Structure 1
């Protein structure tokens, strides 16, 4: 008899065992919850034992706990667990007086891989990277998946001075990036995976907490992506103000969305043969009450990073459609003219994208013939079947699609043949130098000729000089946008432009 059983019999105190294991005759292990108590059995002391098999409940609880702290794709620590370890490491190293490293590693062009091959293939790449890191990091390194294609590395302290520690951690990260870039066969594809890393040393004299350190590492990563893509960037104190700026920008764009500070600007689309306005593109601007007009390259990346880009896009779409309806009522909008709207990848990938577009057209009493949706090449090739299905639903209602910035992405006749696209927009980078660069001039001419053979229209973006316009006219390009005619303007100014064009005689020619 077990000692605990004898104790229950002798003392008469019941015993409750919350969790223990028992292996049955078949070798299967069960998790039991057991109660033991003394009772009298025909005048003799006896032991009553009641056991309940709680294996399923315990395993479910453990699985839930694991999902709370580990990434389901890689089985690495998730952000929550990783940051807990960072906090503990900060305390330990402050006592020891040594320098650890916190790094964020981000795959270059991972979104493109996802768009081309699908999310299943993307998960395969993420798992490979996780396995690669586990094989090549120094002992004592904690690896975490922070989200998407971002990995966190908590590098152990190896040196007593900051300079020596920086060299060690940089060498470790460079080795990881170099070995990761070696060719690898994944899902039938031979890939060279490239990554960039931001590194910050800790603890620092200012006593930064874990969240601040992570922002510093992220800022270093941002710098690396801008200037040292594929390399390691060590955080410098001068970068600290950028962290505050980025956090402030995130808060500011949230406020701007709530207060409807994002406004529509319009750039006319102009016919090259007769100089008339034949439509317009809506462009986003931020009318900040203190700073004035803020250009999109400042706030669009912040909206994308915070996941607010879709909210802003639909808010501006409503504004733009309301304005278009007003121009049509006043008789100012050109016959058969379309308003072009840029569509973000997040918008296009939403399951209710087509429904949202059609509902908004109906709310403003507009038809699909009034609208053109501009998409980038990377959106179009992400999932060809789903892309074509979505586009066909909208095309059936009269909506037309244009490929924006054509020639800068994955231009391919193969996908152009399959997609219901009616217009190509030549990227401004080719138009800007076509007067002086024969290669750019040849690219522009090729795009125009190809579009003609595919029965597509072409719009040249970024036309700023009369010489550029003359070259485009010679190459039979039919329409353009650019500062030569008008910069993007607000709705009242666009109204004046429409009024001025409406007063031109029918035979007016572009001079």
Structure 2
């Protein structure tokens, strides 16, 4: 093994050699002393002058902007007293030679004086023309002043301008005074230290130069290479040329180790990037990689006159697969969807098309070849048709679909963030329009989103303002036509927009979470009114009130506690309160729903399943989830006379429910013939416009008085 002559030993030898020759160069210090003094003074003068000049320009510009901001309102209202106060307040600086406020024609409005001798006169000094013509901040210099001018703005409207002049003579005296002080300090320093510091300073300089040369060759150069290579690796460039070193010291070991490490990091980076930029389930590009690619393509397309289209595809009702079949089935559905989308994109998207999965059930496609609008339309139509076909999952067929939003560059937006936002909006509008279709983004969609946000803002506090009210639709017994209860319904009378449809604002309340505050209030109001009907029922029957419960209230988990508190506060018997839940809300989390309904049943409250027949439950869910009644959806009742299938389905629902001891309610009864058909098939209760429209609590009490007594 070769003996190691280490880096530290080399540095010590170099220092020893440098100290031996230090005496030879000391004379140079004395010769250079005077010259350095002169050069230092010259550089200092230039530096101080530049600093003063920069300071004056910045100070003038800053002062002009500050004065312009304070003059916005006074200039708008032509308040000369306020303008004068602002000008005089800012003229106290010793550097300020003048402050002149002028209107849009360049006529003087105020100069800070009491009399304003030149008021209304157009400024005609040498610097005035450029100051008046400038659209923004403008700084100019004359032999005597630094003049900064800027417009006075009120919002986007220009109402005038202001000029600030700083006196160069005052600044010159300040500059000269500082130079004199600097020179005096330098003289004092030279006198005190020149004699006894000359030798050690010269020795240090020489030793430093020689040491730096040696360290540069043996230490700095390899370290710089290592640092440069590390920076390239840090920035993501792993193509670092490996440096082969024959040195036997510590630096040689470090260089060789770093080379091996860089190769290992490059291998790991390739694997990490593959994992970071690929969706683990489908193998498609993920959100991160797609966004980087989109940013890069937009940068290349800007100014080139070419278009680009983004398609946002979201699977319709995908949550139903996870809820009913499990997450493994959901993953299988996603894989089949991804394969169908990939095949369609490969065939119709063009060579430069890019497909990515953004997570969940959302896929995004980028196309940029040819007529992108026509290509996007064709691809969207193909996707809607392909994804409508049934999926074979766990030996059963599952029918889903997809809603697609399309946005174009540069027609709709020029940035990646805006395009992605527009695509989401268009996709949402496709779902609102009925799902299983596509929509191009339009400015009107932004307005629709804005209206939804505005409605959410208006809905906040609507109860406190008295805009929300509860009305009651009577529920009648088919056996004798008696009123046995009522469904509580929420209404919104907006002071400007009038009566807003419940289907509109209830959805906003549900999505925004406002329903969590509104729902308990409706429940409490309904229970309070139901107590006032006590004793107004028919015979021994006590009137009930049914209240709708939103899926969000059910998911929150505190519904039994809220119900118990309302019953305790109002004194309403639990058997007189019916809670209505939709099928979708119940089956989305069947275990939680079953546990919560069991708690409600233990208190005596009854639970009805609303909109029965429109969801995906059926007999198996009715056996596992305890309910007391089902409400046949109005869509079946409406076509009882014309559609034999609806009549057969309604008959089957009634028979199935009765076999389980469950009460059946039909809603949306608007014709006598519908009522008669339901009576013939044994439907227990009915409600609808043919019997009564929703009415106020007072009107409902009158109705009971007329019919029951």
TM-score by length of 2: 0.55
Q: What residue number does 1:320 align with?
A: 522
Q: What residue number does 1:425 align with?
A: 631
Once the two structures are superposed, what CA deviation does each residue of 1:342-364 show, in whole Å capped at 9, x if it has no partner? 23333333444544544554555
Q: What residue number does 1:169 align with?
A: 376
C-alpha distance in 2 between matches for 1:211 and 1:488: 46
5+ residue gaps, structure 1, are 21-44, 507-511
**Counterpart contact for 2:284–2:356, Cα < 8 Å:** yes
C-alpha distance in 1 between matches for 2:353 and 2:668: 50
C-alpha distance in 2 between matches for 1:372 and 1:495: 21
1:134-149 mapped onto 2 (5 Å cutoff): 137-138=345-346, 139-146=351-358, 148-149=360-361
1:360-375 mapped onto 2 (5 Å cutoff): 360-362=566-568, 364=570, 366=572, 368-375=574-581
C-alpha distance in 1 between matches for 2:615 and 2:625: 16
**Counterpart contact for 1:284–1:316, Cα < 8 Å:** no
User: Within the alignment, does 1:495 sit opposite 2:701 as a pair?
Assistant: no
User: Within the alignment, does 1:101 sit opposite 2:309 as a pair?
Assistant: yes
1:452 alignment partner, one of 658, 663, 668: 658
CA RMSD of aligned residues (A): 4.3
2:448 alignment partner, one of 240, 245, 259: 245
1:225-374 mapped onto 2 (5 Å cutoff): 225=431, 229-235=435-441, 239-260=442-463, 261-304=467-510, 307-308=511-512, 311-332=513-534, 334=537, 336-362=542-568, 364=570, 366=572, 368-374=574-580
Larger-Rg structure? 2
Deviation of residue 422 (structure 1)?
1.3
1:154 alignment partner, one of 366, 369, 389: 366
1:194 alignment partner, one of 401, 407, 411: 401
Once the two structures are superposed, what CA deviation does each residue of 1:98-142 show, in whole Å capped at 9, x if it has no partner? 111111112123132233123454344335544654565345444
C-alpha distance in 2 between matches for 1:353 and 1:119: 27
**Counterpart contact for 1:118–1:382, Cα < 8 Å:** no
SS in structure 1 opposite 2:664?
strand
Deviation of residue 217 (structure 1)?
3.4
**Counterpart contact for 1:342–1:375, Cα < 8 Å:** yes
SS in structure 1 opposite 2:514?
helix
SS in structure 2 opposite 1:424?
strand
**Counterpart contact for 2:628–2:663, Cα < 8 Å:** yes
Once the two structures are superposed, what CA deviation does each residue of 1:52-109 show, in whole Å capped at 9, x if it has no partner? x9x9xxx9xx99xx98x98786676666775565455444323221111111112123
**Counterpart contact for 1:93–1:203, Cα < 8 Å:** no
**Counterpart contact for 1:400–1:422, Cα < 8 Å:** yes
Seen in structure 2, the aligned counterparts of structure 1 residues 111 and 336 have a Cα distance that, compared at 3 Å, is: farther
User: Within the alignment, does 1:116 sit opposite 2:298 as a pair?
Assistant: no
Deviation of residue 212 (structure 1)?
4.7
Which is helix-richer, 1 or 2? 2
User: Within the alignment, does 1:472 sit opposite 2:678 as a pair?
Assistant: yes
SS in structure 2 opposite 1:396?
helix
C-alpha distance in 1 between matches for 2:545 and 2:361: 36
**Counterpart contact for 2:388–2:401, Cα < 8 Å:** yes
**Counterpart contact for 1:263–1:316, Cα < 8 Å:** no
TM-score by length of 1: 0.74
The worse-fitting range, judged by mean Cα deviation, of 464-473 and 358-367 is 358-367
Aligned length: 460
Once the two structures are superposed, what CA deviation does each residue of 1:221-248 show, in whole Å capped at 9, x if it has no partner? 456446685444444xxx4323312222
The worse-fitting range, judged by mean Cα deviation, of 375-384 and 180-189 is 180-189
5+ residue gaps, structure 2, are 11-213, 231-248
SS in structure 1 opposite 2:603?
coil
Seen in structure 2, the aligned counterparts of structure 1 residues 284 and 152 have a Cα distance that, compared at 3 Å, is: farther
Seen in structure 2, the aligned counterparts of structure 1 residues 352 and 126 have a Cα distance that, compared at 3 Å, is: farther
Deviation of residue 273 (structure 1)?
3.5
SS in structure 2 opposite 1:243?
helix
Q: What residue number does 1:30 align with?
A: none
C-alpha distance in 1 between matches for 2:292 and 2:611: 44
**Counterpart contact for 2:403–2:437, Cα < 8 Å:** yes
Seen in structure 2, the aligned counterparts of structure 1 residues 372 and 148 have a Cα distance that, compared at 3 Å, is: farther
C-alpha distance in 2 between matches for 1:223 and 1:331: 44
Seen in structure 2, the aligned counterparts of structure 1 residues 282 and 140 have a Cα distance that, compared at 3 Å, is: farther
C-alpha distance in 2 between matches for 1:390 and 1:376: 14
